[in-house]
Amino acid sequence: MPAGPDDYYKDAGTKILDFFAGFFGVCLLIGGGVAAVAYNKLPGSWTPGLIFAGAVLAVAAIALFFVAGRRYIALGMIAVLIVPALVLGACALFLLGSRH
């Protein structure tokens, strides 16, 4: 039986550390994939497969961390997707909303 979230997280420092581990861990993986494609270390035909495999692995990892009781790692991984979308939306609203 997996440990519950209350079994692992005894203090706020552990929660913060797990959140940042999830957030920056995904950032490093995405950055490594982008760098590999940008510097032509992979053939062009591998790029869509690499993106698809990365997305599948990210979703599987998020689900795994939620089931394992390490929800703050999963929340950090989700934040990597949400924060850029919010920034993009705010920029689009600012730029497109000022045309009136």
Domain boundaries, the chain: 5-97
Residue 3 has pLDDT above 60, yes or no: no
- Predicted pLDDT of residue 99: 64
Average pLDDT over residues 75-98: 87
Task: Tell me if residue 99 falls in helix, strand or coil.
Answer: coil
Identity of residue 25: G
Q: Report yes or no on whether pTM surpasses 0.75.
A: no
- For 15-24, 48-57, 70-79, 82-91, which range has the lowest pLDDT when averaged over its residues? 48-57
The tokens describing 9, both together, are 């997280």
- Predicted pLDDT of residue 1: 45
- Predicted pLDDT of residue 36: 72
Task: Tell me if residue 34 falls in helix, strand or coil.
Answer: helix
Average pLDDT over residues 65-72: 88
